[in-house]
Amino acid sequence: MEVGPAEPDRDCPRCPRLVEFRETWRAKRPDWENAPVPSFGPVEARLLIVGLAPGLQGANRTGRPFTGDYAGDLLYATLTEFGFATGTYAARPDDGLTLIDARITNAVRCVPPENKPTGPEIATCRPFLVATMAEMPKLAAIVALGRIAHDTLMGTLGWKKSARPFGHGAVHAGSHGTSSTWPQRPLTVFDSYHCSRYNTNTGVLTPAMFRAVFSAVRAHVDGAAAR
């Protein structure tokens, strides 16, 4: 399996609807990033967190995943609590926050209208997710934020969704890598409801529920290191 670049170009032309949306917001807000949002964190990390797509006024504005909206408040506070981040999260890319043994990316790198990418857009962007995972030599765990991110990961990994259905707190073990240039390695996927304001305001996800997922991730990563 050929693995291409892990990040799209700033003017990636692959998804016409997303390109049109991006150009509209570049005209409206030239002070915003308005470009595909790159992954954040070291490639040597053992943990990868996968969201769905950048938020319009969050990552699309700031250029860093989960930065500038409520989802980032909960995510980065939780990562810091469990030792996956250090520094102060101030909702801007120059706040000095650093990820430790963790990396964050999105299944779709460009902001979609109404925060809803289409199936073809998810598939078109999948090579970048494949390449992101392939360039992480120590990858041992992934947190899927939301059902669509989970389903996208299942397709990317070649795992059957029927055998590994999404559920908050669910844990799915398997392997990833498909060729001699990207060797098979053990991988565990942890599911979580997305840390959006809507989910927390409606009680679908509480901070305690979110922390429980990352507590399990911390134990798994530490246990894998000890083996």
Mean pLDDT of all residues in 100-123: 97
- Summarize the confidence of residues 186-202 as an average pLDDT: 96
Q: What is the mean pLDDT of residues 117-125?
A: 96
Q: What percent of the chain has pLDDT over 70?
A: 95
Mean per-residue pLDDT, 202-226: 93
> Distance between CA 93 and CA 172 in Å, rounded?
32
Banded model confidence at residue 185, pLDDT cuts 50, 70, 90? confident
> How far is the C-alpha of 200 from the C-alpha of 184, rounded, in Å?
37
For residues 114-118, give the mean pLDDT: 94
Q: What is the amino acid identity at position 70? A: Y
- Statement: residue 180 has pLDDT above 90: no
Three-state SS sequence of 101-143: CEEEEECCCCCCHHHCCCHHHHHHHHHHHHHHHHCCCCCCEEE
Per residue in 28-46, pLDDT (tens digit) is 999 999 999 999 999 999 9
- Which structural domains are found in the chain, ordered by start? 16-226 (3.40.470.10)
- C-alpha dihedral, 128 to 132 to 134 to 135, nearest 10°: 130
- Average pLDDT score over residue span 64-71: 95
Contact 102, 47 (CB under 8 A): yes
179 pLDDT band (50/70/90 cuts)?
A: low
- Closest among 208, 91, 191 to 141, alpha carbons compared: 191
Can you tell me the mean pLDDT for 144-171? 95
Q: Rounded mean pLDDT of 115-136?
A: 95
Asked if the model's pLDDT at residue 1 lies above 70, the reply is no
In this structure, the strands spanning 85-86 and 98-99 are antiparallel
> Which one, of 170, 177, 130, lies nearest residue 5 by Cα?
130
- Nearest CA to 213 out of 183, 227, 193, 199 is that of 193
Distance CA 139, CA 187 (A): 7
**Maximum separation of any 2 CA atoms in the chain, in Å:** 53
The answer on pLDDT for 227 being more than 70 is no
Per-residue model confidence (pLDDT) at position 176 = 85
The yes-or-no verdict on residue 88 having pLDDT over 50 is yes
In the predicted structure, residue 200 carries a pLDDT above the cut 60: yes
Q: Is the dihedral of CA 48, 54, 55, 59 positive or negative?
A: positive
Mean pLDDT over each residue of the chain, to the nearest integer: 94
How far apart are alpha carbons 66 and 16 in whole angstroms? 24
For 27-37, give one letter per residue: b (16+ CB within 10 A) or e. eeeeebbbbbb
Does pLDDT of 139 surpass 60?
A: yes
Exposed/middle/buried for 16, CB within 10 Å: 0-12, 13-18, 19+?
A: exposed
pLDDT of amino acid 226:
61
Report pTM.
0.94
